[in-house]
Amino acid sequence: MERNIRRPLWVALYAIAMAAVESAVVVYLRALHGGAEPLSVLLHEIPDRLVAIEVGREAATLVMIVAVAAIAGRNVWERFLYFALAFGLWDSFYYVWLWVFIGWPPSLFTWDVLFLIPVPWLGPVLAPVIVSLCLVAGALWLLSRSALRLSRRAWVLASVGAVLVLLSFTIDYHYALIRTDPPRFRWEVFWAGIVIAVGGLIWFSRRQAPPSTEGAKD
């Protein structure tokens, strides 16, 4: 039991610390560009030649998360869950640390450039925080139920939900390229993806739950 708790704990500590490093980078960029908001730093202030470096940094971050998950997990399934745990904590604590360092974002509905691979992701801070909380909660729950495996239908629903969530972030990516203010966020697409993915996961996992011992005695 102690070992089972220790693995997620170390992965969590790594993700939270890495989020602090990444948020510090944004703080430095903001300071170098006259205190601009993180969104405007990326959309308006950073020279195009530095955007490629930023994309490389994001790719390196993903590699680090994958590497830690590969070390922590004992099989492909556990590695996937540890990746979800690390990614969710890293993404959510990135905003926690930014708020601690510079008081940003002032609101969960503040817009941000969330990611740049393969195209810019745009949305209010609340949206990636919701996704991160779902990833963390789902990963911890499934890690505690090591015998549970998702069915093919559950994977299909989770994949469809993930595509819809990604679409809500990237459908208006061209606004970042022309460097203008973002439009209304596609909440209807986002929530459809969350409901399909989370609902499918819960429903199929309940169907796979082992029968109770009381039923067996009867």
CB 97 within 8 A of CB 125: no
Q: How far is CA 201 from CA 8, 192, 198, 215, in A?
A: 21, 14, 5, 25
Cβ-based neighbour number of residue 76 at 10 Å: 9
* CA separation for the pair 81, 69 (Å, rounded): 8
The C-alpha atoms of residue 124 and residue 144 are separated, in whole angstroms, by 32
Residue ranges covered by each domain of the chain: 2-148
Residue 170: name the closest of 150, 145, 143, 193 by CA: 193
Please tell me whether residue 4 adopts helix, strand or coil conformation.
helix
Rg (CA), the chain: 19
Contact predicate 11/81, CB 8 Å: no
pLDDT truncated to tens, each residue of the chain (218 aa)? 455 788 999 999 999 999 999 999 888 877 877 666 666 556 666 677 777 888 898 999 999 999 999 999 999 999 999 999 999 999 999 999 999 999 999 999 988 888 888 888 999 999 999 999 999 999 998 888 876 677 788 889 999 999 999 999 999 888 777 766 677 899 999 999 999 999 888 877 665 654 444 444 44
Cβ contacts of residue 152 below 8 Å, gap of 6+? none
Residue 115 is inside which H or E element, if any? strand 111-115
Tokens of 58: 């994001």
- Residue 26, token pair as written in the block: 């944004």
The pLDDT, as a whole number, for residue 162 is: 96
What letter represents residue 61's amino acid?
T
Task: Identify the pLDDT of residue 84.
Answer: 96
Q: Which pair of tokens denotes residue 130?
A: 């919701």
> Mapping DSSP to helix (H, G, I), strand (E, B) and coil, where does residue 122 land?
strand
CA distance 10 to 35: 34
Instruction: Give the whole-angstrom CA distance, residue 25 versus residue 51.
Output: 14
Per DSSP, the three-state class of 145 is coil
